[in-house]
Structure 1
């Protein structure tokens, strides 16, 4: 599905692609993703954009909200679950602008956000993406 198709997928379709990307993540990483909540929204809210100092909501396709696994303690309680937010309109804009396959684009975004869950470097995220590709 390329951006040239110009048919805007629904939030449910983006979520389905994201879940498929999560399903391709290999063990042992996949073993630590069961409690991560996946949320697809139209846009990032103003609070999120302000916190990241992003002015244009089209510049944020996804974000990980939570604490990386290496920073967690078994003594913690009452925290919100870790979340991966995907922003449909920004994803669609990038999809159309770049002409990249939507499956590939969503996979890339999901792997990047999963990488933040694990506290991975950008280099390690690329290696995980190649392995889960």
Structure 2
């Protein structure tokens, strides 16, 4: 299950993609359009900036904008930045240590299949797909 943090991050990214790509959009405007607390969005946007998905400028005329075109973002990268690995079990996560039960684990093939389906689904969808559906 995805948290509100991950879901709201997608809403922020969609909102930014729908605006003038050159303009910095004030966070208060995004908060109003998305009906999300500005305080909560500050936490989310900070992570999006740290992850390089958006850039921000403070002061008059400041705000946030995408660092790339909407079609260059996968939904998977946005979700993983806010939620962490999509891997359903620890042994499939990036950087996981070799599992001593790998050779005898009867559930590993099922988890691997599920992980690949989920990963392919989210990494196959682009931000622009959601913008065009919205």
Greater per-residue strand proportion: 1
Q: Same fold (TM over 0.5)?
A: no
Q: What range describes the TM-score normalised by the shorter chain of this pair?
A: under 0.3
- Please give the TM-score of this superposition, normalised by the length of structure 1: 0.25
- Please give the TM-score of this superposition, normalised by the length of structure 2: 0.25
Structure number with greater Rg is 2
Higher relative contact order (CA 8 A, sep 6+): 1
